[in-house]
Amino acid sequence: MTSADDVRSAVSLAATTLRTALGRDWHVPAAGLTWTCWETVEHVADDLFAYAGQVASENTPPEGYVPFGWRRGRPDGPALTIYSEDTKNPEGLIQVLESSGGLLAAVVTVAPPERRAFHPYGISDPAGFAAMGVVETLVHLHDVAVALDLPWAPPADLCDRALRRLFREAPETTDRWATLLWATGRGELPDHPRRTDWRWNGTPV
Protein backbone atom coordinates (compact mmCIF):
# COMPACT_ATOMS: atom_id res chain seq x y z
CA MET A 1 0.00 0.00 0.00
CA THR A 2 1.27 3.46 -0.88
CA SER A 3 2.23 5.42 2.22
CA ALA A 4 3.37 8.82 3.44
CA ASP A 5 6.95 7.55 3.18
CA ASP A 6 6.38 6.93 -0.53
CA VAL A 7 5.29 10.54 -0.98
CA ARG A 8 8.42 11.71 0.81
CA SER A 9 10.61 9.44 -1.30
CA ALA A 10 9.07 10.53 -4.61
CA VAL A 11 9.36 14.23 -3.78
CA SER A 12 12.89 13.86 -2.43
CA LEU A 13 14.01 12.07 -5.59
CA ALA A 14 12.34 14.72 -7.73
CA ALA A 15 13.96 17.56 -5.80
CA THR A 16 17.39 15.97 -6.01
CA THR A 17 17.05 15.55 -9.76
CA LEU A 18 15.75 19.07 -10.31
CA ARG A 19 18.65 20.56 -8.34
CA THR A 20 21.03 19.22 -10.98
CA ALA A 21 19.36 21.55 -13.49
CA LEU A 22 19.29 24.87 -11.62
CA GLY A 23 21.19 26.61 -14.40
CA ARG A 24 18.92 25.48 -17.24
CA ASP A 25 15.93 27.19 -18.79
CA TRP A 26 12.82 25.87 -17.02
CA HIS A 27 10.52 27.98 -19.18
CA VAL A 28 10.74 25.65 -22.17
CA PRO A 29 7.77 23.33 -22.84
CA ALA A 30 7.66 20.11 -20.84
CA ALA A 31 7.53 16.96 -22.94
CA GLY A 32 4.03 16.20 -24.22
CA LEU A 33 2.43 19.19 -22.47
CA THR A 34 1.41 22.74 -23.28
CA TRP A 35 2.89 23.81 -19.94
CA THR A 36 6.49 24.84 -19.39
CA CYS A 37 8.77 22.81 -17.14
CA TRP A 38 8.34 25.53 -14.51
CA GLU A 39 4.55 25.37 -14.71
CA THR A 40 4.65 21.58 -14.58
CA VAL A 41 6.62 21.57 -11.33
CA GLU A 42 4.20 24.17 -9.93
CA HIS A 43 1.33 21.89 -10.98
CA VAL A 44 2.86 18.98 -9.05
CA ALA A 45 3.31 21.14 -5.95
CA ASP A 46 -0.26 22.36 -6.31
CA ASP A 47 -1.61 18.82 -6.61
CA LEU A 48 0.29 17.68 -3.53
CA PHE A 49 -1.13 20.62 -1.58
CA ALA A 50 -4.65 20.02 -2.91
CA TYR A 51 -4.54 16.32 -2.01
CA ALA A 52 -3.41 17.25 1.49
CA GLY A 53 -6.34 19.67 1.69
CA GLN A 54 -8.81 16.98 0.66
CA VAL A 55 -7.61 14.50 3.26
CA ALA A 56 -7.08 17.02 6.08
CA SER A 57 -10.68 18.10 6.46
CA GLU A 58 -13.32 16.15 8.36
CA ASN A 59 -15.97 17.88 6.25
CA THR A 60 -14.64 17.77 2.71
CA PRO A 61 -17.34 18.62 0.12
CA PRO A 62 -18.81 15.26 -0.96
CA GLU A 63 -18.94 16.17 -4.65
CA GLY A 64 -16.04 18.56 -5.13
CA TYR A 65 -12.71 19.90 -4.01
CA VAL A 66 -12.18 22.07 -0.95
CA PRO A 67 -12.78 25.51 -2.54
CA PHE A 68 -9.32 27.05 -2.32
CA GLY A 69 -8.88 30.03 -4.62
CA TRP A 70 -6.74 29.62 -7.74
CA ARG A 71 -5.41 31.51 -10.72
CA ARG A 72 -3.78 30.92 -14.12
CA GLY A 73 -0.58 32.73 -14.98
CA ARG A 74 -1.58 32.58 -18.65
CA PRO A 75 -4.59 31.15 -20.52
CA ASP A 76 -2.91 27.84 -21.41
CA GLY A 77 -1.17 27.43 -18.06
CA PRO A 78 -2.28 25.22 -15.16
CA ALA A 79 -4.84 26.43 -12.63
CA LEU A 80 -2.86 26.93 -9.42
CA THR A 81 -3.45 27.67 -5.77
CA ILE A 82 0.22 27.04 -4.96
CA TYR A 83 2.95 28.66 -7.06
CA SER A 84 6.39 30.14 -6.67
CA GLU A 85 6.70 33.84 -5.89
CA ASP A 86 9.89 34.23 -7.94
CA THR A 87 9.68 32.86 -11.49
CA LYS A 88 13.45 33.10 -11.93
CA ASN A 89 14.57 31.13 -8.87
CA PRO A 90 14.37 27.35 -9.48
CA GLU A 91 15.66 26.60 -5.98
CA GLY A 92 12.69 28.46 -4.53
CA LEU A 93 10.31 26.45 -6.70
CA ILE A 94 11.93 23.22 -5.53
CA GLN A 95 11.37 24.32 -1.94
CA VAL A 96 7.69 24.92 -2.75
CA LEU A 97 7.51 21.38 -4.16
CA GLU A 98 9.19 19.91 -1.07
CA SER A 99 6.91 21.82 1.27
CA SER A 100 3.75 20.65 -0.52
CA GLY A 101 5.02 17.08 -0.49
CA GLY A 102 5.73 17.36 3.22
CA LEU A 103 2.20 18.61 3.85
CA LEU A 104 0.64 15.66 2.01
CA ALA A 105 2.90 13.15 3.79
CA ALA A 106 2.10 14.66 7.18
CA VAL A 107 -1.66 14.67 6.59
CA VAL A 108 -1.66 11.11 5.28
CA THR A 109 0.23 10.04 8.40
CA VAL A 110 -2.35 11.44 10.82
CA ALA A 111 -5.62 11.15 8.86
CA PRO A 112 -7.90 8.27 9.89
CA PRO A 113 -7.60 5.51 7.27
CA GLU A 114 -11.38 5.35 7.00
CA ARG A 115 -11.60 9.00 5.90
CA ARG A 116 -12.97 9.53 2.38
CA ALA A 117 -12.68 12.57 0.13
CA PHE A 118 -13.66 13.58 -3.37
CA HIS A 119 -11.55 13.10 -6.47
CA PRO A 120 -13.00 13.03 -10.00
CA TYR A 121 -11.35 9.63 -10.54
CA GLY A 122 -13.11 8.12 -7.53
CA ILE A 123 -13.84 8.91 -3.88
CA SER A 124 -10.61 7.97 -2.15
CA ASP A 125 -8.88 7.41 1.19
CA PRO A 126 -5.59 8.80 2.56
CA ALA A 127 -3.54 5.97 1.03
CA GLY A 128 -5.19 6.66 -2.32
CA PHE A 129 -4.29 10.34 -2.19
CA ALA A 130 -0.73 9.37 -1.27
CA ALA A 131 -0.60 7.18 -4.39
CA MET A 132 -1.98 10.02 -6.49
CA GLY A 133 0.74 12.32 -5.17
CA VAL A 134 3.38 9.74 -6.03
CA VAL A 135 2.07 9.28 -9.58
CA GLU A 136 1.78 13.03 -10.20
CA THR A 137 5.35 13.52 -9.00
CA LEU A 138 6.91 10.63 -10.91
CA VAL A 139 5.22 11.08 -14.27
CA HIS A 140 5.39 14.86 -14.41
CA LEU A 141 9.06 14.73 -13.47
CA HIS A 142 9.39 12.50 -16.51
CA ASP A 143 7.85 15.28 -18.62
CA VAL A 144 10.31 17.79 -17.17
CA ALA A 145 13.31 15.46 -17.30
CA VAL A 146 12.81 14.71 -21.00
CA ALA A 147 12.63 18.43 -21.80
CA LEU A 148 15.67 19.32 -19.68
CA ASP A 149 17.66 16.22 -20.68
CA LEU A 150 17.87 14.86 -17.14
CA PRO A 151 18.15 11.20 -16.09
CA TRP A 152 14.98 10.06 -14.34
CA ALA A 153 14.16 6.46 -13.47
CA PRO A 154 12.28 6.04 -10.16
CA PRO A 155 12.69 2.84 -8.10
CA ALA A 156 10.64 -0.15 -9.24
CA ASP A 157 9.08 -0.77 -5.83
CA LEU A 158 7.83 2.82 -5.59
CA CYS A 159 6.26 2.55 -9.05
CA ASP A 160 4.81 -0.86 -8.24
CA ARG A 161 2.95 0.29 -5.14
CA ALA A 162 1.42 3.20 -7.04
CA LEU A 163 0.42 0.93 -9.92
CA ARG A 164 -1.20 -1.63 -7.64
CA ARG A 165 -3.18 1.10 -5.89
CA LEU A 166 -4.37 3.18 -8.85
CA PHE A 167 -3.94 1.07 -12.02
CA ARG A 168 -5.17 -2.36 -10.98
CA GLU A 169 -5.67 -3.41 -14.62
CA ALA A 170 -1.97 -2.87 -15.45
CA PRO A 171 0.20 -5.92 -16.13
CA GLU A 172 2.16 -7.04 -13.08
CA THR A 173 5.21 -8.71 -14.63
CA THR A 174 6.49 -5.88 -16.85
CA ASP A 175 9.08 -3.26 -15.97
CA ARG A 176 7.46 -1.14 -13.28
CA TRP A 177 8.58 2.31 -14.47
CA ALA A 178 7.82 1.53 -18.11
CA THR A 179 4.40 0.26 -17.01
CA LEU A 180 3.63 3.43 -15.08
CA LEU A 181 4.58 5.51 -18.12
CA TRP A 182 2.34 3.30 -20.27
CA ALA A 183 -0.54 3.51 -17.77
CA THR A 184 -0.41 7.32 -17.92
CA GLY A 185 -0.22 7.52 -21.71
CA ARG A 186 3.47 8.34 -21.86
CA GLY A 187 5.09 5.21 -23.25
CA GLU A 188 4.89 1.92 -25.08
CA LEU A 189 4.56 -1.51 -23.50
CA PRO A 190 5.06 -4.74 -25.47
CA ASP A 191 1.80 -6.49 -26.40
CA HIS A 192 -0.30 -3.62 -25.03
CA PRO A 193 -1.79 -0.82 -27.17
CA ARG A 194 -0.58 2.67 -26.37
CA ARG A 195 -3.02 4.57 -24.20
CA THR A 196 -4.45 7.76 -25.67
CA ASP A 197 -7.11 8.14 -22.98
CA TRP A 198 -6.48 7.07 -19.41
CA ARG A 199 -7.48 7.61 -15.81
CA TRP A 200 -6.65 5.95 -12.53
CA ASN A 201 -9.09 4.33 -10.10
CA GLY A 202 -8.79 6.09 -6.77
CA THR A 203 -11.44 4.10 -4.94
CA PRO A 204 -10.19 2.14 -1.91
CA VAL A 205 -9.05 -1.41 -2.56
Could you tell me the CATH superfamily of domain 4-183?
Answer: dinb family like domain (1.20.120.450)
Q: What is the pLDDT along the chain (205 residues), one digit of tens a residue?
A: 889 999 999 999 999 999 999 999 999 999 999 999 999 999 999 999 999 999 999 988 889 999 999 999 999 999 999 999 998 999 999 999 999 999 999 999 999 999 999 999 999 999 999 999 999 999 999 999 999 999 999 999 999 999 999 999 999 999 999 999 999 999 999 989 999 899 999 999 8
pTM: 0.97
Residues 6+ apart with CB under 8 A from 120: none
DSSP-derived letter for residue 108 is H
User: In one letter, which amino acid is 152?
Assistant: W
Length of the chain: 205
Confidence at residue 23, expressed as pLDDT on a 0 to 100 scale: 95
Does the CA dihedral 46-143-137-87 come out positive or negative?
negative
Confidence at residue 205, expressed as pLDDT on a 0 to 100 scale: 85
User: In one letter, which amino acid is 63?
Assistant: E
Using CA atoms, how far residue 62 sits from 6, 59, 77, 103, in Å, is 27, 8, 27, 22
